[in-house]
Amino acid sequence: MTNGPESTRQASSEQRNIDDWLPISSSRNAKWWYSTFHNVTAMVGAGVLSLPYAMSELGWGPGVTIMTLSWIITLYTLWQMVEMHEMVPGKRFDRYHELGQHAFGEKLGLYVVVPQQLVVDVGSDIVYMVTGGKSLKKIHDLLCVDNCKPIKLTYFILMFACVHLAISHLPNFNSMSAISLAAAVMSLSYSTIAWVASLVKGVHEDVDYTPRGASSGARTMNFFTALGDVAFAFAGHNVVLEIQATMPSSPEKPSKGPMWKGVMLAYVVVALCYFPVAWIGYHSFGNKVEDNILLSLEKPVWLIVVANAFVVVHVIGSYQVYAMPVFDMVETFLVKKMKFKPTTTLRFVTRNLYVVLTAFIAITFPFFGGLLGFFGGFALAPTTYYLPCIIWLIIYKPKKFSLSWWTNWFCIVVGVLLMILAPIGGLRTIILSAKNYSFYS
């Protein structure tokens, strides 16, 4: 019979081996700038290209106000999450749901956080599949003009998926740092191309800044959809704890110092990408702008081809940043709960199945604008705008009517309104798109 201490040592050794195998906890030697390009890759992506379209549904006043408020609110809630990563001495909350469990309890924390986090991660990856496929198709259509046979969007999404069948087997965040860095550089590059090309193109003839919609009802629904687009654009919180988990930490030098340094630089890059693209793009095209600004820019052809190629590289990285927490959840469940052995075969099967699933859904429902609005409101608003504030109020209990108390409740009210209103508009857009859509065309 195995004695107690020996059995405990074996169990803890086995637990360490599993943690060293899992994607989030296997490597803790990241540099501060890793958090910059991981966060830029997580946040700047499909969302930035839809911001001029969102502006066309909001109008100048509400659009500028909502975008600026979103930048401030999400920077504040991101700071909260960085602070809460090591709020308990000697413990690190490496995953969003672990923080939720600390605040709400073991079971309720899982029920509150995991479904929302999964919807965000999987939903984002579906949108990135659509974005990658559409950008590849745009490159093909621009370059192939004479005697070219049209190719269905379905095939371009499949091409994009094939890339992920190869690179989804990188073990953890740090192993994909080069991909994430390339993606972050690409995001700044294509965002700059988008707003500079819009500026050079000048204001479109008969430009109209009236909010998009044929009736007051349609304009209201479009307004709701735009709220979701903006929420989607500021969605990096879902992976921030997982990114911070890759950083070394000690009582003398906690991870929050370098992490916050990286986050601040990331948010400067986000501002440089988002505000010029949204406002200059809308200024140039008004309410005639496409739901992807690059689709509105037809010339010069070589520049738009380059921009779309940058988008493809970027969303490859974005897909992986959002997929990694899903891989971690699935592999944790299979290894810790279902007692599967942590093997390369297990990882190969589960990750390939995930890529195939997201590709299938993207091919079936490639409604770019509607998807952004729906997912942006339904799950990104809670995990980004107000869930960190609720956890902060529960754990830190700031004095009633203090600045911290008012700030958190303001963010909660804004986030709840986003969660309620945005999916309504997004779902309507999807339904309208589906009316004229032929499956797998």
Give residue 11's pLDDT. 55
d(CA 329, CA 306): 36
Structure tokens at 181: 């860095």
In total, the chain counts a number of residues equal to: 441
Residue with tokens 């409740």: 409
Give residue 236's pLDDT. 74
d(CA 177, CA 253): 22
CATH topology of domain 33-435: Amino acid/polyamine transporter I (1.20.1740)
Structure tokens at 280: 């200059």
Give residue 12's pLDDT. 65
pTM confidence score: 0.87
Under 8 Å between Cβ of 30 and 242 = no
Give residue 131's pLDDT. 86
Under 8 Å between Cβ of 97 and 114 = yes
Closest CA to 247 of 258, 261, 238: 258
Per-residue pLDDT 10s for the chain (441 aa) are 445 555 555 556 777 778 788 888 777 888 899 889 888 888 886 568 789 999 999 999 999 999 999 999 999 999 999 999 999 888 899 999 999 999 999 999 999 999 888 888 888 898 889 889 988 998 998 888 777 888 888 999 999 999 999 999 998 888 888 998 999 899 889 899 889 988 988 888 888 898 988 888 888 888 887 887 787 788 778 889 989 998 998 888 899 999 999 999 999 999 999 999 999 999 999 988 887 787 787 667 888 888 889 989 999 999 999 999 999 999 999 998 898 998 989 999 999 999 999 999 888 877 655 665 566 667 778 888 999 999 999 999 999 999 999 999 999 999 898 888 878 876 776 777 666 666 665
Domain coordinates in residue numbering, the chain: 33-435
Under 8 Å between Cβ of 294 and 284 = no
Give residue 1's pLDDT. 46
